[in-house]
Amino acid sequence: MKRSTLIAIGTVGLMALAGCSTTPTPQSGDGSDGQDDQGGLSGELSFLSPWTQAQTAPMIEAYAEENPDATINVTYIAGNENAQQLLATQLAAGNAPDVFYLNPGAGSPTSVGVLGEAGYLADLTEQEWAADLEEPYRSFLSHDGAVYAYPSTIFGIGAMYNQTMLDEAGLEAPQTWSDLLAFCGDATEAGHPAFVLGAGAVWINAVIPYALASTLVDSQDPDFEAGVGTETDFTDSEWVTVLEQYGEMVEAGCFQENPTGTDGPSTWGIAGAGEVFGVVAPGALLSEVQAAAAEGAEFMMHALPATDDASETTMPVSLSSTLGVNAASESPELALDFVNWLSASEQLAMIASLQAGAVPTIASDDFEAPAAIAVVEELSSAGRTTPVPDLSWPNPEVQAALQSGAQGMLLGSSTPQQVTEAMQAAATQ
């Protein structure tokens, strides 16, 4: 694949978003969807943002400078489970935003495949940026051959370490599976858990399995996830090993006490405040971790190892901040203009920079990846990244089975074999 287009793919629907609010642009037009006197567009647009208010406001302000008679009313929500529930409810009621955050693939309730099939999404195939999408990436943003979603940024899923704390404790980020288990013990001896795990947020329970499955499953058999339910079987695969190793991390004391009592926002605060050495998370949440950190604290992302051969380690990558346009939008011209405006190089660089842990999906001469997430581009360039598995899964129930099953393992109510059996049953329903 050319670096001039997408460099990575996937989605897990794991974005943690800000609290509910609405932020309009400075000046309202006449409510119509057309040209203003200065050549910009006028009208009113509603936007369900995948970014926090601090990340979104600069983009809204920049768009308003070019379109002073356009008003964008932005909604922010507290977590992706809330986002999915809110959006699904609004779409069913016919009052969904004009532009909204959704997930690529078909593995979640508000994904391109699910919403495209239901007729909720506007066809974006003829937009200029859509011509740059290559397979298999294009298919994750499409349904029945038509492009329905715009991907602004990507992120890796890996271990984000407080490098300042590692240096002070004389520890190093583990590069092999054996090193990882030993690191958990060394971290405890140094006074802090190795990782914080916010298992009280259901979606977080899939993060570590995704990170391990990249090396153990998807790098070895790139077609495995697409075949579940027809040609491949979770119960007779390295997915069992993935979950067994997740259990080994629990037994090795890798996490804080009572992980199921920790929610998403608390997770990023704990990681940033230096109460643990790290957190396994989507890179797009690095800004949330940094926001809670002491001044001068340095964070670095590494791939989570799953074998004792460091050269085998790969990282799952995911499309982030994927946007769709409501097929029933009352401001279709303004909605398309806003999405297309976001695809320009300057805006791509702005979005990625504001997210801290993301990089543009389409190459931007205006962007340079910060050192904290340089590993994402390094592994991508070396061919050592894999799509997040849920992109290829046949329905959202598979992801839900993994999330609840992995959480059940922490509570002692599930085993690795039982989790994979539930995932397989979901894939074949």
- Kindly state the percentage of the chain with pLDDT values over 90: 70
The token pair that represents 193 in the structure block: 């858990």
What pLDDT sits at residue 314? 98
Query: 170: exposed, middle or buried (C-beta count within 10 Å: 0-12, 13-18, 19+)?
Result: exposed
Ranges for all domains in the chain classified under CATH 3.40.190.10: 21-154+317-371, 157-316+387-427
Mean pLDDT of all residues in 205-232: 97
Is pLDDT above 60 for 1? no
**DSSP β-bridge partners for residue 280:** 159
What pLDDT sits at residue 31? 42
Is pLDDT above 90 for 14? no
- Kindly state the percentage of the chain with pLDDT values over 70: 90
What pLDDT sits at residue 81? 58
Mean pLDDT of all residues in 219-227: 96
State whether residue 189 is helix, strand or coil: helix
DSSP 91-142: HHHT---SEEE-BSSSSSTTBHHHHHHTT-B---TTSGGGGG--TTHHHHTE
Give 28 or 216, the one with higher predicted confidence: 216
Query: 136: exposed, middle or buried (C-beta count within 10 Å: 0-12, 13-18, 19+)?
Result: middle
Residues in the chain: 429
21-154+317-371: CATH number: 3.40.190.10
| 304-350 pLDDT per residue, tens | 999 999 999 999 998 878 899 999 999 999 999 999 999 999 998 99
Tell me the C-alpha distance between 39 and 56, whole Å.
24
pLDDT band at 50 (very low <50, low <70, confident <90, very high): confident
In the DSSP assignment, the letter for residue 38 is T
In the DSSP assignment, the letter for residue 18 is -
Tell me the C-alpha distance between 211 and 216, whole Å.
9
Q: What is the CATH architecture assignment of 157-316+387-427?
A: 3-Layer(aba) Sandwich (3.40)
| 75-117 pLDDT per residue, tens | 987 555 577 888 999 999 999 999 999 988 887 889 999 999 9
Is pLDDT above 60 for 290? yes
Tell me the C-alpha distance between 314 and 328, whole Å.
41
Q: Find the helix packing angle between 416-427 and 396-411, rounded to 10°.
A: 160
Mean pLDDT of all residues in 152-156: 87
What pLDDT sits at residue 185? 98
Is pLDDT above 70 for 425? yes
The answer, as to whether pTM is greater than 0.85, is no
